[in-house]
């Protein structure tokens, strides 16, 4: 299958359980996969890919791991914790998000939430003024060079950790779900940088289960990125996926004002799940995905047996401007 280095970080399998009240209200057999309960740093699906990314960093005897992201990045928070577990220094270049909005427009506050947790974890966080994606990537590269010049062995991870190893982690996650329950007609999951939907789609290739990604980023060409990521995974494994764009179910209707900006529908969905089942979602990813699920259900566009994949991210609730 694959020979990627790996360390143990998460508690797996993560729980899978039915949502009885919402099932009754929506007329579905609705279940939830709890990757918000992966077991460290407030949980989240990023822990799955970090088992492989930090595994490779350890194998390469890295002394410092460097990445970049938003000030409220769930990936940065979990990566900071994973580095603490592995005994590796962690540094990240971050900017408030969204870039094209000011905080007053509804974006998350830079301070508190995930950024506070990064600081508690002892991470070297360089909080920069808002600028372009390219400037953020350049800042991360300069940060890595800074550590190299000091004599450190640096392992760089791209934003969001969307690598073939990350996609492979979610291929394995899909197999985990298959071992937990009878087949679902559909899995609904937040979709952004790509490794989660790519891996899950790979795991369910050739089955009757649809992996429905709900976009959190207003980029209609993201499925092309998923195809490219799957091709890289094919190069490194014997999975022979040969995934095409049409293999990816990708819905752009629930992004709201933009990436990194909470939406009215997403916030309503957060309240709905909290008030019916006592489970919290986040305002940037899982809340928007659950909004999509609720709206599709209300319009008769969901099959009978559905699993919602909770990707975590709840610390971002504590960075809401209001």
Assigned token pair, 33:
């996969």
- Nearest by Cα to 198 from 255, 253, 239, 155: 239
User: Is 39:51 a contact under the CB 8 Å cutoff?
Assistant: no
- Give CA separation, 134 vs 69, 193, 259, 284, in Å: 12, 16, 16, 22
Q: What is the 3-state secondary structure (H, E, C) of 202-215?
A: HHCCCCCCEEEEEE
Catalytic residue among 73, 162, 195, 263: 73
What span, in angstroms and rounded, lies between the C-alpha atoms of 69 and 92?
7
What end-to-end distance do the CA atoms of the chain give, in Å? 47
Q: What angle do CA 131, 136, 142 make, to 5 degrees?
A: 130
In degrees to the nearest 10, what's the CA dihedral of 43, 9, 51, 79? 50
CB 82 within 8 A of CB 54: yes
For residue 98, cis peptide bond before it (omega within 30 degrees of 0): yes
Asked about 179 being catalytic, the answer comes back as no
- Catalytic site residues? 73
């Amino acid at each position: 299958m694959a020979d990627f280095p790996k360390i143990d970080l998460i508690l797996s399998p993560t729980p899978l359980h039915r949502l009885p009240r919402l099932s009754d209200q929506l007329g579905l057999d609705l279940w939830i996969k709890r990757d918000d309960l992966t077991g460290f740093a407030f949980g989240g699906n990023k822990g799955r890919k970090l088992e492989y990314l930090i595994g490779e960093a350890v194998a390469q005897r890295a002394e410092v791991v460097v990445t970049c992201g938003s000030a409220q990045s769930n990936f940065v928070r979990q990566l900071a914790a994973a580095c603490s577990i592995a005994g590796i220094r962690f540094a990240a270049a971050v900017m408030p998000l969204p870039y094209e909005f000011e905080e007053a427009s509804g974006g998350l506050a830079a301070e508190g939430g995930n950024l506070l947790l990064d600081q508690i974890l002892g991470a070297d966080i360089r909080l920069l003024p808002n600028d372009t994606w390219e400037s953020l990537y350049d800042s991360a590269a300069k940060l890595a060079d800074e550590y190299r010049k000091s004599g450190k062995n640096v392992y760089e991870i791209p934003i969001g950790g969307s690598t073939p190893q990350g996609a492979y982690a979610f291929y394995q996650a899909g197999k985990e779900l298959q071992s937990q329950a009878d087949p679902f007609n559909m899995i609904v999951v937040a979709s952004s940088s790509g490794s989660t939907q790519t891996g899950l789609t790979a795991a369910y290739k050739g089955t009757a289960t649809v992996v429905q990604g709900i976009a959190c980023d207003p980029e209609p060409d993201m499925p092309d990125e998923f195809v490219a990521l799957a091709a890289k995974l094919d190069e490194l494994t014997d999975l022979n996926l040969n995934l095409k764009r049409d293999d990816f179910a990708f819905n752009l209707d629930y992004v709201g004002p933009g990436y990194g900006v909470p939406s009215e529908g997403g916030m309503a969905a957060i309240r709905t799940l909290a008030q019916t089942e006592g489970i919290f979602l986040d305002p940037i990813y899982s809340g928007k995905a659950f909004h999509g699920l609720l709206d599709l259900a209300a319009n008769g566009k969901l099959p009978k047996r559905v699993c919602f994949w909770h990707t975590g991210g709840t610390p971002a609730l504590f960075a809401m401007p209001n």
